Copies of this chain bind each other. A is one copy, B any other.
Amino acid sequence: MGSQSEGTMPSCEILSIGTELLLGQILNTNSQFLSEELAAIGINCYFQTTIGDNVERIKFSMKQALNRADILLITGGLGPTADDLTTECLAETLGVGMIFDATVMERIESFFQTRGVPMPESNRKQALRPEGSDLLPNPRGTAPGDLWCITPDLLRKAGITNPESERIVMTFPGVPGEMKAMWRETAVPYLTKHYESKVFWSCDLKHYGIGESALAEKYAHLLDMSNPTVAPYAGSGECKLRVTARAGTIAEAENLAKPVIDEIISASGTLFYGRNDDTLEVVVGRLLTERKLTIAVAESCTGGLVSKRLTDVPGSSNYIHLNVVTYADDMKERILGVRHETLIKDGAVSTQCVKEMAEGVKKFAAADVGLSISGIAGPGGGTEEKPVGLVYLGLSHERGTDIRKLTLPAHITRQEIRHRSASEALNMVRLHLLQNS
């Protein structure tokens, strides 16, 4: 899903530098992060290039990118070793010298001092940057980046195509956490200010229980808007709509987006579950906390995954006291009180079994809500009657016990069956809590 419009908006290229990327030792998550961020602030990205620590190829790629795009974002190659070539190659590509920034040097020295280790001499090179460029501060590490608005005059001297319009170059370390902090704290404000003095504000509206194409169809009338823009994104069994607005101030952009956000939230109903960093487990945790309820989970086929996801959330010990993974039938009997007859007659993967499991774990843990899961995650263990992908969910609460049956496609992996079952279970809890507020 998604398209790019070639209009008056600036264009950008991403250059990732590092032999470890070419050897496949590292997954290039930086490019994805920057791509998504660029799309959100309305900057088109047409080329992404990955190269190793090689002077000729770095300089070639820098020049090619400057010939084609308004903005060049470079990640990697800012470290202190001989393999770190980004800064010097950038200076050479534009035909300028390097300046030494004493303030940066002091900051690097104090970084080592506070750790009580001597600074290797090689770190001095991290205080150098191309003449005429500015500092792109790195709040999280020693290596700062460059922020360089290159003038037509300098572009002309360096033999860059179309030198009339200035170019923006930014360099970032390859470490994702440092790159992201620098991007958010300095690069985004700079770019939004530089281009049309507009700021961008965006919000992800996360949905569960509807596919990406159905979501796109439902909101087809919004997808062609220009400000705010609305774009669907698919994830693992979930999807989201990103609403992005552009205006003179953040508050104005937010105001511009608000009616669209309100419309979507209202029309999506319970298909909408949260914003931005919300996950199903975060939302379930929030609802449990608000309603002062506790939950206990009895898992079979998911083997602890639901418990793991619920406890990924800081503070989850406030509403979870006990979860159990009753993998064996006798444990379902002994701990959860599932009747022997149920296991013999209906089997562990059945409506009756998850009903008794949910009721049993609720009682055993003295919780307000009991959740149970039993199914066949595969790859073995499936029969014609109960194939791989068959999963039952049980939810016991003060007014009774609800059951859901899932029939997941048998060709997906054990991990996917477990993940989707866990998501469905968490969503079942969410819907229950919403309906019983």
A45, A308, A326, A415 pick with most chain B CB within 10 angstroms: A308
A57 to B418 Cα, complex, angstroms: 41
- Assess the A32–B39 pair: CB atoms within 8 A: no
Given contacts A326-B322, A365-B331, contact A307 B312 (CB under 8 A): no
A1 to B83 Cα, complex, angstroms: 11
- Assess the B303–A308 pair: CB atoms within 8 A: yes
Partner of A2, one of B20, B47, B48: B20
- Assess the B380–A314 pair: CB atoms within 8 A: yes
Given contacts A32-B27, A325-B307, contact A49 B49 (CB under 8 A): yes
A45 to B57 Cα, complex, angstroms: 12
How many chain copies?
Answer: 2
Residue A117 at the chain B interface, CB threshold 8 Å: no
- Assess the A414–B314 pair: CB atoms within 8 A: yes
Residue A256 at the chain B interface, CB threshold 8 Å: no
A2 to B23 Cα, complex, angstroms: 7
Query: Chain A binding site: helix, strand, loop or mixed by DSSP?
Result: mixed
Given contacts A47-B50, A308-B303, A324-B324, contact A28 B32 (CB under 8 A): yes
A57 to B4 Cα, complex, angstroms: 14
Residue A92 at the chain B interface, CB threshold 8 Å: no
Given contacts A314-B380, A314-B414, A328-B317, contact A57 B47 (CB under 8 A): yes
Partner of A321, one of B3, B61, B327: B327
- Assess the B1–A25 pair: CB atoms within 8 A: yes
- Assess the A23–B49 pair: CB atoms within 8 A: no
Residue A7 at the chain B interface, CB threshold 8 Å: no
Residue A311 at the chain B interface, CB threshold 8 Å: yes
- Assess the A312–B415 pair: CB atoms within 8 A: yes
Residues of B within 8 A of A27 (CB): 27, 29, 32
Residue A149 at the chain B interface, CB threshold 8 Å: no
| Beta-carbon contacts under 8 Å, A1-36 to B | 1-4, 19-29, 31-36
A72 to B38 Cα, complex, angstroms: 28
- Assess the A48–B46 pair: CB atoms within 8 A: no
- Assess the B52–A4 pair: CB atoms within 8 A: yes
**B interface footprint on A304-316 (CB within 8 Å = 1, 0 otherwise):** 1111101110111
A27 to B233 Cα, complex, angstroms: 13
Residues of B within 8 A of A46 (CB): 22, 51-52, 54, 57
Residue A238 at the chain B interface, CB threshold 8 Å: no
Residue A166 at the chain B interface, CB threshold 8 Å: no
- Assess the A308–B314 pair: CB atoms within 8 A: no
Which residues of A line the B interface, CB within 8 A?
A: 1-4, 19-29, 31-39, 45-52, 54, 57, 61, 233-234, 299, 302-308, 310-312, 314-317, 320-328, 330-331, 335, 365, 378-380, 414-415, 418
Given contacts A49-B50, A317-B327, 17 further A-B contacts (CB under 8 A): A1-B25, A2-B23, A4-B19, A22-B45, A23-B45, A26-B32, A302-B311, A304-B304, A304-B308, A304-B323, A314-B379, A321-B327, A321-B330, A322-B324, A322-B326, A323-B327, A325-B325
User: Can you offer 28 A-B residue contacts whose CB atoms are under 8 A?
Assistant: A1-B20, A2-B19, A2-B20, A3-B19, A21-B48, A22-B35, A22-B45, A22-B46, A24-B33, A24-B34, A24-B35, A26-B32, A28-B28, A28-B32, A46-B51, A46-B57, A48-B50, A302-B308, A303-B312, A304-B304, A304-B306, A308-B308, A311-B325, A311-B327, A312-B414, A315-B380, A320-B328, A322-B331
